[in-house]
């Protein structure tokens, strides 16, 4: 498990994502793992129902092999060889910071 702190550059995150290593920040509110759930239920608090259904379909088909979480809501999923940003109906300030770091890192993969 890699530790990813606020002070670390997006390049560190890019390298973690490239190798699909498990990571988390100090509080565990920003984390990524190749251990994916069977479904997204109450964990996806800020997801629209259609987004939740789409993620669950992909999980059922075993096409998601890595998920990045912000708090208890999926932020990005590696699905079928591609990184997919998961839209939320609302982002907290910390989730916006996680999303921005992810956007930059994923754009360089």
Assign 104 to helix, strand or coil: helix
> pLDDT tens digits for 21-67?
999 999 999 999 999 988 887 666 678 888 888 899 999 999 999 99
Domain ranges of the chain: 2-107
Would you say the pTM of this structure is higher than 0.85?
yes
Please say if the pLDDT value at position 92 is more than 70. Answer: yes
Cα–Cα distance, 4 to 19 (Å, whole number): 14
Q: Could you tell me which residues come within 8 angstroms of residue 24 by beta carbon, excluding any fewer than 6 positions away? A: 1, 2, 3, 4, 30, 31, 32
């Amino acid at each position: 498990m890699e530790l990813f702190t606020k002070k670390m550059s997006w390049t560190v995150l890019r390298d973690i994502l490239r190798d699909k290593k498990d990571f988390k920040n100090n509080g565990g509110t920003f984390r990524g793992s190749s251990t994916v759930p069977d479904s997204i239920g109450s964990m996806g608090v800020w997801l629209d129902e259609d987004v939740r259904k789409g993620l669950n379909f992909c999980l059922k088909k075993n096409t998601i092999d890595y998920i990045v979480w912000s708090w208890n809501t999926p932020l990005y999923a590696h699905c079928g060889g591609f990184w997919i940003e998961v839209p939320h109906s609302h982002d907290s300030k910390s989730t916006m910071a996680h999303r921005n770091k992810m956007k930059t890192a994923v754009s360089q993969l």
